[in-house]
Amino acid sequence: MSSLPWREAWQAALYGPDGFYRAEPGPVGHFTTSTHGPLGAVFAEAIAALADREGATHVVDVGAGRGELLVALHRGRPDLDLTGVDVVDRPTALPGSVRWLVSPGGAELPTDLVDLDGVLVVAHEWLDVVPCTIVEVLDDGTPRTVSVDAGARTESLVGELSPKDAAWCAAHWPMDGMPRRGHRVEVGLARDRAWSDLVSRVRRGTLLAVDYGHTRDTRPPSGTLVGYRDGTAVPALPDGTCDLTAHVAVDSLEQDERWTQREALHRLLGRPGVPDHALATTDPAAYVAGLARAGALRALTAPGGLGDFHWVVRRCGRLTG
């Protein structure tokens, strides 16, 4: 394969006909997120609590994987309307009442995802897999876009920055004063546009993007692009055999509020506390369930881990009184 700008090679590797995200077993086979396993039920509880707070009766999960969050939401809150959106056909394990839309992938969304009303739209770890332009600074300070040749496993610094990418960098990730050799910028414009496109599809409701990322004060100096396969971080190679992800510039997304996951979950679910010990004798099953819930809440809010994820909130129209 010849050399392609990273954004194009990344799009083909994840969402092309043989793309990584089209293959079974899906994301859950390669990495763990807050929506999986024992954490998923508590995370779903927080999403349902946010939906209630925002006055939403319908949760739309964009980048729904194989429906893990939707299954947990349906189990805990069967009264909520649920819709999943991802690049694969409807997963067989989904309850019959859950709607499903097939999406092109990356920054592209389905045409029939429009005019949403009364919704909480959740994009959990979607934006980090929306391909973006990668820029590296030459020794003389000139920024160049990075291209990649998956077959030869090589990169080249050949392209000029587009005026729009350059304007985004000037506004959000200026390169002056940065150490030159090897300094990389993952240009957030494609993520900002994808997010704004999703926002434009909501008439009345709240949107929530949850992701790992950085802000103006914490931009990474040499890039975060990495691959994941079978639970392990691997070199980023756009050959369809691994996930490709880069942290999100969360402060450049259009937003009304931004919290850490720790702040959000403490606000929505309270602080993790152990159940009353007396329950251990009166209702041992409830006691064990309470301990498990406290453990999951602790993991979801852990400093240096999932608790540092960003929750970006955008509201459209007016739902709550």
Ligand X SMILES: C[S@@+](CC[C@H](N)C(=O)[O-])C[C@H]1O[C@@H](n2cnc3c(N)ncnc32)[C@H](O)[C@@H]1O
213 binds ligand X (CB under 6 A): no
Q: Which residues contact 271 (CB under 8 A, 6 or more apart)?
A: 297
- Of the candidates 242, 2, 17, 249, the residue with the CA atom closest to the CA atom of residue 133: 249
Tell the smallest beta-carbon distance from residue 42 to ligand X (Å). 14
Q: At what angle do helices 37-54 and 68-76 cross, to 10 degrees?
A: 70
Q: Which helix (H) or strand (E) holds 117?
A: strand 116-124
131 binds ligand X (CB under 6 A): no
Segment contacting ligand X by CB under 6 A, of 99-107, 215-223, 233-241, 263-271: 99-107
Pick 36 or 53: Cβ nearer ligand X: 36
The binder of ligand X chosen from 44, 46, 71, 87 (CB under 6 A): 87
Pick 36 or 90: Cβ nearer ligand X: 36
What is the full DSSP assignment across 285-308?
Answer: HHHHHHHHHHHHHHHHT-TTTGGG
124 binds ligand X (CB under 6 A): yes
Tell the smallest beta-carbon distance from residue 5 to ligand X (Å). 18
Pick 85 or 94: Cβ nearer ligand X: 85
The binder of ligand X chosen from 67, 91, 106, 223 (CB under 6 A): 106
230: left (phi over 0), alpha (psi -120 to 50) or beta: left
Pick 161 or 191: Cβ nearer ligand X: 191
At 302, the amino acid letter reads A
Tell the smallest beta-carbon distance from residue 22 to ligand X (Å). 8
Pick 8 or 108: Cβ nearer ligand X: 108
Provide Rg for the chain, Cα atoms: 20
- Binding map of ligand X across residues 234-273, x = CB under 6 A, - = no contact: ----------------------------------------
Token pair of 142, please? 């000139």
The span from the CA of 66 to the CA of 63, in Å, is 9
What is the bridge-based pairing of β-strands 58-62 and 116-124?
parallel
108 binds ligand X (CB under 6 A): yes
Q: Which residues contact 270 (CB under 8 A, 6 or more apart)?
A: none
Binding site for ligand X (CB under 6 A): 21, 27, 33, 35-36, 62-65, 68, 85-87, 103, 105-106, 108-109, 124-126, 129
